[in-house]
Structure 1
């Protein structure tokens, strides 16, 4: 059983109350999907046999549409089975909750079903509110996410110096072999340090630390989903130890150890004063405070060393994290560019007051590092010989991110993106057509962030912001909200036909990369969203960008003609016929948003693609409101020959809307146009016999054959009621004869008039009432009229015509 939500009948109930809803793999390799409606009617679709290999992923999708009465099973993006659910009540029966990979209960399911586990692995399970199209199912099949395993932990300890008066922030991040953060990691880890001293607690984490024995340096931490694979824990050690930190996942058998850490009784503690804490924005000034903390060797009490005051010459540097981008521009403090290791000489002076000094970190690029400070010249702390003992300090690990991702230079060939969000806005390109967009990591500018939040204000112009030259990170592009039309369908975004769209870190150079060809599948506009998640392997630090892209229009139309003569391959001149126009994107998928009710369909004109000059196409405007989900129809279109005596002509119908979207070069429906008429032939005969009057439905074949029976006509019907009698003459009066029958087949037929009776000699006009396209200019008056003929009773056939006749003796 692959999934099951079937619900058995209640105790003492009857089997008719069983409600099935299941997908199973039968023992001969067929997939079967079935369900009951709320009236107990059962429906199912079953595929042919499949041979699924072991350890091979197979994508399976099932759809059901009770309104349309369809059930479908797709295997690896291809339709494998379809069946009917017509006659259903329109609603599923009462179901249990859905079990994946096993039976929902002891209820075995429908006859022939096999209970038990699917005996495999499932991934990427998705449930939708609506029936997906084949293209959407294929899109989902390709939208996979690789499964990864824990390979190691990165353990950040700053510059490797800490105060015995202040806990050391230790960053623990679960990563795979490619150094990607495992944002779904949920393991239980053991914590320890090599000195066997210290106490663990939470700094920034959603779970709880369970400490080991007091001051043992041990404990455990259970990762939870909200951690996104990374936590910051505090290690407090009152001993002036040199140690390393070890993190172990015993289940995964993974152990990692940090760089060395030195705890000291005299140490600088560097703390961010900016509201963003350890998250730094490139080019945005970031405030810090450094304080000299001292543990009294006698009492063990800690306090800021208030006697440490005045301008102090210091050594300042930074220590790059393993995720720091190589070659990134270094940070600066007070105009001093920091080196990536302890400098040989003092390079920074800070003014301390009562043991504390503020400073501002300035950046022009991205990075991930900790700041280090050392005082080894003031002599505020002395060794046993009276010499100056170094005082060191470290910040927590800082992540410097771009201010934002700027999406610029969006264009389709030479056409720049106008960013239109209204139905009448400027056109960008066709739905599904290729366009390009450049993604830049950019620096902060005050004008773009009046609230100094570290994020762009709505509508900020990022096109002129300097780049962060070392930015490079896997960046996801997606079609986000808002999109237009708001009540329509948000299209799919692909890159070269592939989704989801991820721009790899390696694609960046100088802080930017260009994605091409991007494709958006729908009509309208959308918000192109960019996200670099867990930047520099720091969970929760995400860099965003967005831009409105549009307006997209259909790539082309296809037209389908339904001939006016139902069941026949032709349409009479001036006879209404139906044309359906369907809007498509370049991928060959119908654009659902091309809809008059959504405002994004356009007035469409139908024309003759063959550019004939012998007739006129009329009623050839399809209103925007006639389009629903990309399809519009008009059943009142006519093509009328200028001259009734015109040979058949093949009309090809072209659709063109006011955005110049056209069916030219694509499927264009055709119909043969025939000039038609109904012909009645004069008839005469005895007043004592019924009279047969020949009739025909004719079309003009050519100048030689002229009018011939239209043997292909299947749409013209004539009855006794189609004819009237008038202009009675002689001894023939109204009521003396009547039309008693009409026959018509393959364009030929006759009508029958009843015998008037003895002595009722005379004539009457028979006039047909026919469709306008079957009328003809019978009297050369320039106007079309109904067919008419003379029925004569009591006048017999004239003798044969002779040239000379004489009577023989």
Structure 2
């Protein structure tokens, strides 16, 4: 027979874990554990840290007098001499860093050769690393040291060794107070349960049934059950672990022994946002549902280590399974209530099994459970592994739980980890050890600073008084623990008992049946108090001197709701008394009119000028109910009344009835009171400059982004009258402006920056700024969104400015790329003076909008095509751009070709980075420049050009301009030092040529440049195009006509324009461009008898012409003659050779 889980009994234990969530902060500092031996006893296994050593000290002493010795004048110490060693091991594998601290002194007089070495190894047998060596004269007076243990030695078997090299006689090294402190690796929690007791800061434990009691440490393990019958326990770790987009790995050793094979344990990963109430008993192992009993609340994954075999069995309301399987591991998925928790996968009967027989603890198999959602979304891998001594073996694996179970709940943001254990008629001892859970982070629990009780200050003995309880994380209660908390309440009288699970902000009924006072308190809490229990009581938001709550037998009950100031509130006031027989509340009046007196008092602020009006009658303000108001009570003892208060604040309204002889109730006094808050409405005004309330990017300019504008916030009531008491409350409510982004859609939206001064008669003034371009909506709010506990004060229809703007940049920043010029002759890497040249790297200008604070105004971007949506206001076509020369040359620079206009780059969507690039709208039509060639040749020079953008080109439609020094003056932007390949003063030169009329004639023609002293061949020129050539006849009377010769070319007219009809030999064909500055130019022989002279001239660009004859710049011309060469007169004999 199986043990029975009591869901109701476990609920107070486990539901309290949800309270941890509200106390969870961002991952706190790393967990620090200690291993300590202060040698207070003579035992070698003393262990007083938060974690336990792996075993006792192992000693090797040559003398018997080196045992541990207790002293009466000191707590105890360890004495070592001669060549003694002492070693002890511990598991530091999960830790990031560790230190060892101890105290060393000498006993007797140590000699110079005496040494004590502190050593550490990763394994018990070494090798050991010495981290400190002491010599005799260092410890005479005693020293305390803390040494770092090398990170490489932080293993599962880290071993510390104390080794003495030599001592003699009665000389001793005395060691005391050994403590190892280790900081957990980020994202891991480890517990080896080695302490004397279970750490209550880590574990919440409870016993539901049986005589075993709550889980506890026994033999350095966490024992969940003993072998007695009908034990049901639970242990939940007071940590949460990130689940979504993360991998969580959990390992532990399981011991199930000394019994008759039942039941097993369940390991649960649940949603940390849901109270972890366990599921069904028996074969459901506290995880799955069972015959109408809900499954584990928030359960996402249940891992059953099932010795008996019913966790996989689809009976008793469980969904799915393979049937009864003993000694098995199985997984069940997520569920809620009595639905879900389906069987996912399970093993057969394992060998070796889950448990063992006999009293020796075992089997000690190590289990590893991994949940991997690093891919995110609906993709989570599950794996269960076991190590029985030969390494981990996969028992179960799911590639994706969402494929196996399409109804699986999404991976929770954070997991909560719980263990349940049970026995029944069949039993086992169930223990775990060496628990380790690793994830991205481990979130600890924050304690409760104090509890607050909120009530109305008066109770009636005939009915419960509702009291709101807040669990505060800090002294000012700026943060609360919003999850369930387990509290012990005082005094008796709380409905539900003195021990309850509550949530912060929950109202609990409290009864007292006799007149008098009750002192309210919480005496114990889980999560625990940060120090001693602190309870604070508030009436109407005002802290009281104590937590006494008075009760009376009769009185008035009414509730004035929190409301906007001066808004009439319809209130029912009930006259009640305690029935002597039933003790219940019954009407104190019925179908009568009675004159009640009313009064009020200011609670916060504690002064004022306006009076509360009851049925339009101003009532006394001194706190004494003295203003009479006649009320008609119905059969149920209720009377309607109207309450108004024109100012702002927290007030208490008193009602009193004093009996008289006329009403036959002399001596009767009935009181009632209620606190309420009248909220003002915060109205915002822009006082300077005028707000044009622009609707879009074409609207008027309001002010500069990042520049202060003046505001006024006025607290008013619903009738628009000022509420002068606003700002006098304590503590003073802080007011801030909050914005909504109107335009551009999807743009940057920083919070407004500024402050408001102290309120004067309900009016606050101050300067604010918004550090962006665009249009915002603006409203005044309380910083804490809560006026005296009654909510925020802004009302959209009355208090919000729907449009404030348009905000524009303060100035524009401009930067440029590094433009450069291209070579006019790309093949040769040069250009000729006078020849036009363009850009190799076209100029681009990045324009960025800046705020008055110097930051980037990101919303100033060229988005879309509609002007109403585009907050970029700079045309950017740069019509005034100009160029000037800074090179040392007599040549004058000019822009010879005006390229296309510039334009800003446009974007269709974010990011909003506040910038755009100005570049030529047609990248193939750029500006081109040239140097006008001076008449006097000069040496080659590199171009040096400055490009200037005038201020007007960099001024947008709102007058925002390039102003680098921020002085309010618009400045031009200059790009200096634009350069490129050398400019050469060049010319085309030709030489005269003469030859026989029967032989082709070569005519010299070449490109030259002036190198600073003379003209030289321009071997780099492979670009200059000389075409066509012309032939003229300077001597018409000779026997040679231009038509009688031609240029050897590729045909007629060829590149030369004078090509012979038949292509000439390849080696003599004319090319329009030179090779290494030389042209191949041959004239075909005119033939016998065709004798005379011709002039040959190329078509030459202006920058290569020259003043050849002193008559001005002109192309070169060569005179060629056929058959007219007379030869050298010094020759004795010449003849032609063909």
- Whether these two folds match at TM > 0.5 is yes
So what's the TM-score if we normalise by structure 2? 0.44
Please report how far the alpha carbon of residue 280 of structure 1 lies from its aligned counterpart in structure 2 after TM superposition.
1.3
**Residue aligning to 1:772:** none
Q: 2:988–2:1100: 8 Å Cα contact kept in structure 1?
A: no
Q: Distance in 2 between matches of 1:238 and 1:282?
A: 37
1:482-493 correspondence to structure 2 within 5 Å: 482-486=741-745, 488-493=746-751
Tell me the SS of whatever aligns to 1:254.
coil
1:58-457 correspondence to structure 2 within 5 Å: 97-99=244-246, 150-158=448-456, 160-175=457-472, 179-183=476-480, 185-186=482-483, 188=485, 190=487, 192-194=489-491, 196-197=492-493, 199-200=494-495, 211-212=496-497, 218-223=498-503, 230-248=505-523, 250=525, 251-252=528-529, 253-256=532-535, 258=537, 259-272=547-560, 278-307=561-590, 309-318=592-601, 320=603, 324-329=604-609, 331-334=611-614, 335-338=616-619, 342-343=623-624, 346-354=626-634, 355-378=637-660, 387-395=666-674, 397-403=675-681, 405-409=682-686, 411=688, 415-445=689-719
Encode CA deviations 1:24-63: one digit per residue, 9 max, x unaligned: x999xxxxxxxxxxxxxxxxxxxxxxxxxx9xxxxxxxxx
So what's the TM-score if we normalise by structure 1? 0.60
Please report how far the alpha carbon of residue 580 of structure 1 lies from its aligned counterpart in structure 2 after TM superposition.
1.7
User: For this pair of structures, how many residues does the alignment match?
Assistant: 587
Closer, same or farther: CA 432–689 of 1 in aligned 2, 3 Å: farther
Q: 1:653–1:669: 8 Å Cα contact kept in structure 2?
A: yes
Judge which range, 471-480 or 422-431, deviates more: 471-480
Closer, same or farther: CA 402–777 of 1 in aligned 2, 3 Å: farther
Q: 1:162–1:269: 8 Å Cα contact kept in structure 2?
A: no
Encode CA deviations 1:666-714: one digit per residue, 9 max, x unaligned: 693414689989854242254755744225699xxxxxx9xx99x9xxx
Closer, same or farther: CA 778–193 of 1 in aligned 2, 3 Å: same
Tell me the SS of whatever aligns to 1:416.
coil
Q: Distance in 1 between matches of 2:622 and 2:830?
A: 86
Q: 1:379–1:389: 8 Å Cα contact kept in structure 2?
A: no
Q: Distance in 1 between matches of 2:489 and 2:500?
A: 9
Closer, same or farther: CA 763–569 of 1 in aligned 2, 3 Å: closer
- Any unmatched runs of 5+ in structure 2? 1-26, 29-94, 98-180, 182-242, 251-368, 375-435, 538-546, 824-828, 886-892, 935-942, 966-971, 994-999, 1033-1041, 1048-1057, 1087-1092, 1108-1112, 1123-1138
Q: Distance in 1 between matches of 2:1099 and 2:443?
A: 76
Matched, 1:553 2:808: yes
Please report how far the alpha carbon of residue 767 of structure 1 lies from its aligned counterpart in structure 2 after TM superposition.
4.4
Tell me the SS of whatever aligns to 1:604.
coil
Tell me the SS of whatever aligns to 2:551.
strand
Closer, same or farther: CA 313–491 of 1 in aligned 2, 3 Å: closer
- Structure number with greater Rg is 2
Tell me the SS of whatever aligns to 2:814.
strand
Aligned partner of 1:656 among 946, 950, 955: 955
Q: Distance in 2 between matches of 1:691 and 1:444?
A: 104
Closer, same or farther: CA 426–155 of 1 in aligned 2, 3 Å: same
Q: 2:464–2:512: 8 Å Cα contact kept in structure 1?
A: yes
Q: Distance in 1 between matches of 2:857 and 2:958?
A: 17
**Residue aligning to 2:973:** 668
Q: 1:429–1:553: 8 Å Cα contact kept in structure 2?
A: yes
Please report how far the alpha carbon of residue 595 of structure 1 lies from its aligned counterpart in structure 2 after TM superposition.
1.6
1:609-624 correspondence to structure 2 within 5 Å: 622-623=902-903
Aligned partner of 1:633 among 900, 911, 918: 918
**Residue aligning to 2:1028:** 725
Q: 2:651–2:676: 8 Å Cα contact kept in structure 1?
A: yes
Tell me the SS of whatever aligns to 1:681.
strand
Please report how far the alpha carbon of residue 236 of structure 1 lies from its aligned counterpart in structure 2 after TM superposition.
4.5
Closer, same or farther: CA 670–621 of 1 in aligned 2, 3 Å: same
Closer, same or farther: CA 101–632 of 1 in aligned 2, 3 Å: farther
Q: Distance in 1 between matches of 2:536 and 2:509?
A: 16
Encode CA deviations 1:203-245: one digit per residue, 9 max, x unaligned: xxxxxxxx11xxxxx353422xxxxx53444335454453232
Tell me the SS of whatever aligns to 1:182.
coil
Q: 1:191–1:245: 8 Å Cα contact kept in structure 2?
A: no
Q: Distance in 2 between matches of 1:697 and 1:357?
A: 115
Please report how far the alpha carbon of residue 582 of structure 1 lies from its aligned counterpart in structure 2 after TM superposition.
1.6
**Residue aligning to 2:876:** 604
Q: Distance in 2 between matches of 1:514 and 1:101?
A: 53
Q: Distance in 1 between matches of 2:247 and 2:711?
A: 41
Closer, same or farther: CA 315–600 of 1 in aligned 2, 3 Å: closer
Closer, same or farther: CA 494–766 of 1 in aligned 2, 3 Å: farther
Encode CA deviations 1:639-670: one digit per residue, 9 max, x unaligned: 78999579976332242222222113369341
Closer, same or farther: CA 479–539 of 1 in aligned 2, 3 Å: same
Matched, 1:519 2:777: no
Q: Distance in 1 between matches of 2:945 and 2:822?
A: 18
Please report how far the alpha carbon of residue 530 of structure 1 lies from its aligned counterpart in structure 2 after TM superposition.
4.1
Q: 1:152–1:175: 8 Å Cα contact kept in structure 2?
A: yes
- RMSD (CA atoms): 5.3
Encode CA deviations 1:302-355: one digit per residue, 9 max, x unaligned: 3323436224041422472xxx23445555123555556542x62231322323
Q: Distance in 2 between matches of 1:340 and 1:319?
A: 8
Matched, 1:591 2:858: yes
Please report how far the alpha carbon of residue 165 of structure 1 lies from its aligned counterpart in structure 2 after TM superposition.
4.3
Closer, same or farther: CA 467–266 of 1 in aligned 2, 3 Å: closer
Q: Distance in 1 between matches of 2:704 and 2:482?
A: 42
- Any unmatched runs of 5+ in structure 1? 4-24, 28-53, 55-95, 110-114, 124-146, 201-210, 213-217, 224-228, 273-277, 446-463, 497-502, 699-704, 712-716, 744-749, 770-774, 781-786, 797-809
